[in-house]
Structure 1
Amino acid sequence: MAFRKFLPLFDRVLVERLTAETVTKGGIMLPEKSQGKVLEATVVAVGPGSVNQKGHVQPVSVKVGEKVLLPEYGGTKVILEEKDYFLFRDGDILGKYVD
């Protein structure tokens, strides 16, 4: 997998956005404009964390494999092996889904 060749630095988190729904439950095809931006993603790699004022590493609050909620704007697009991923700072991630 591409993300094994890429390790985020500091408190950055590499995510893969979930795909947008292209068909409604009733079977109607949705045009791209009405699909909206997907704000859910899966964490694929995390950095070690940021260093606090005392010099201790504050670990990232999410783990690889967790599903997270992203802000509508922000993040840096990264293309790895022809696939789109996004880099966010740990503090920018709005929350994570729990089972």
Structure 2
Amino acid sequence: MANIIDDGTIEYVGILAKLELSEEEKQEAKKDMGRMLDYIDKLNELDTEGVEPMTHIFPVSNVFREDVVSGGEDRDNILANAPEQKDGAFKVPKTV
């Protein structure tokens, strides 16, 4: 295990996660975090020369449509459904 996690790191992570860990849980967390870091080190050994960075394993294109305003010309019909209106807008109770 090349990555050794100390007690201070476990305490800090526990504070960030708002966890109260027992001594047994701290020891187990140290082992788990060490294994995770070892696996990351193993992944860093891979040869990625010539591999293009990607954000998703499948090619993804933007599926969103352009944001086009529509239906704003029919203010009178929209306001016809309002219980109260004032100066061409919905009138609602004051909230503080």
Please confirm whether the aligned pair reaches a TM-score higher than 0.5, indicating the same fold: no
- When the two structures are superposed, what TM-score results if normalisation uses the length of structure 2? 0.16
- When the two structures are superposed, what TM-score results if normalisation uses the length of structure 1? 0.16
Greater RCO (CA < 8 Å, at least 6 residues apart): 1
